[in-house]
Structure formats: structure tokens, C-alpha cells
A and B are shown apart, each in its own frame.
Chain A
Amino acid sequence: GAGVSQTPSNKVTEKGKYVELRCDPISGHTALYWYRQSLGQGPEFLIYFQGTGAADDSGLPNDRFFAVRPEGSVSTLKIQRTERGDSAVYLCASSARTGGFSGELFFGEGSRLTVL
């Protein structure tokens, strides 16, 4: 497809389990972002990749959250020992540019995580 693809679209897990969320950005986009959107709130920045490296991970809430982008394309957000408070929609976005007014961030439809 032409857009940002995220899988799974829905994930239900139990407290304490490990979860992986996948993001396939738009082809050729070097910048990749993860955001988290809680119900009734705006997206909250988690981490930004430029190429393979995490350029800014200041939004990750704690060390249970980790993300990788080993080949500079697909990214995986990993959450260990999930807690009920981790329930949210996890949004991935990509961009061809990392700055300038002409840049645009393209969001996927998100992965809805529910921790029981």
C-alpha cells in the first residue's frame, strides 16, 4: 500500500505479558515516529528514528518500552511486562523530510492495545 501500515490493528493482552507492535513506513521515508494516543487525548510523542538510529527517545515513559528499526525501514515497538495503563492507540508516522515547512508527517491508522 501507499500509506503507513501498522499491525496488528488490535491487540488484547493480559497484564504482565510482552507485546510487539509493527510499523511499515511509506517507502523511502527516512524518518519514523511513534506516538501514543490515550482515549480522548492528543497523540503523545514516544520516539523518533532517523534511519536505523533512535535520534530522540525522550518520550518513552519507562524502560519497559523499547523500539528498533534495524534496517532503516520497518520498526517494532516492544512493551515488556504490560500494565493496564499502557492501554492506548499506538500511532506510527513517517516523513521524507526531517524539517522545513514543506515536510509532512504521515500517520498510520494505529494499533489499539488493550491490557486486561
Chain B
Amino acid sequence: QQQVKQSPQSLIVQKGGISIINCAYENTAFDYFPWYQQFPGKGPALLIAIRPDVSEKKEGRFTISFNKSAKQFSLHIMDSQPGDSATYFCAASRADSWGKFQFGAGTQVVVTP
């Protein structure tokens, strides 16, 4: 049973455009929502994370929007660059089992020059 559903599966965006990836979850006990970036042949690396007590968090060109009532959160990549081409995973975990993440299936983002 997939506890975190991610969409779209893949995304093509032009350089300078905005990439938007969405995730939805069911378990209301989740209280930590990270986004990971993974390049081919590498392990996932933390990009940005949010707790449900805030609705938005921004770090550079990356923004998480969080909607607790809808149990949804999204990643926005502003001014997308070719170096952002990677697979992005959303994840969620509970406070009593931090690090035991439920990952989404991933979104492959391709930024064209």
C-alpha cells in the first residue's frame, strides 16, 4: 500500500521555467515531509523539508507548499536549470519513527536548454 502518492511521473520543462511536483498522503500521523533529489547512479540527497505547522518553506529556487487539510504538499522549482535534471522524491515520516520514510514513486525532471 503506497502511503505517499506522487505525480507526475515525468516532467519536461524549458530552462527558466517552473517545475511543479505534487504529493498526497493518507497518514495524518506524518509530521516531517522532505524532498530528495537523485542523480543517476547516486544516492538521494536532501533538498528541502517541511513540518506541517507551516504552509510554505523556501530555500533559494526551491519552495515547498503544504496543505494540511488536503493532505497534500508540492515542490516548486523556480527558474529551472539543466543541472536540475534529476529524479525527485517526496517522502514522509512520523515523529516516533523519524528516518523511516515512506517515499513517493519519483518524478523524473528534464530541463531543456
Contact = CB atoms under 8 A, between A and B. Distances in A.
A100 to B, nearest CB: 7
B99 A109 contact: no
A105 B106 contact: no
Interface in A28-47: 31, 33, 40-45
B99 A48 contact: yes
B101 A105 contact: yes
Interface of A: 4, 31, 33, 40-45, 48, 56, 59, 91, 93, 95, 97-101, 103-110
A31 B101 CA distance: 14
B98 A107 contact: no
Nearest to A9: B41
Given A33-B99, A91-B43, A95-B99, A101 B32 contact: yes
- Closest 6 A/B residue pairs (Cβ): A42-B103, A107-B43, A99-B98, A42-B89, A107-B44, A109-B43
Contacts of B34: 105
Interface string B78-110: 000000000001010001011111111110000
Contact of A43 (B42, B95, B101): B101
Nearest to B31: A101
A5 to B, nearest CB: 11
Contacts of B51: 101
Contact of A40 (B4, B95, B103, B106): B106
B50 to A, nearest CB: 9
28 contacts: A33-B100, A40-B106, A41-B105, A42-B89, A42-B103, A42-B105, A42-B106, A43-B44, A45-B101, A48-B97, A48-B99, A56-B97, A56-B100, A59-B100, A95-B99, A97-B98, A98-B98, A98-B99, A99-B95, A101-B49, A101-B51, A103-B99, A107-B43, A107-B44, A107-B45, A109-B42, A109-B43, A110-B43
Contacts of A104: 46
Given A43-B89, A91-B43, A103 B105 contact: no
Nearest to A104: B46
A101 B33 CA distance: 10
A40 B49 CA distance: 23
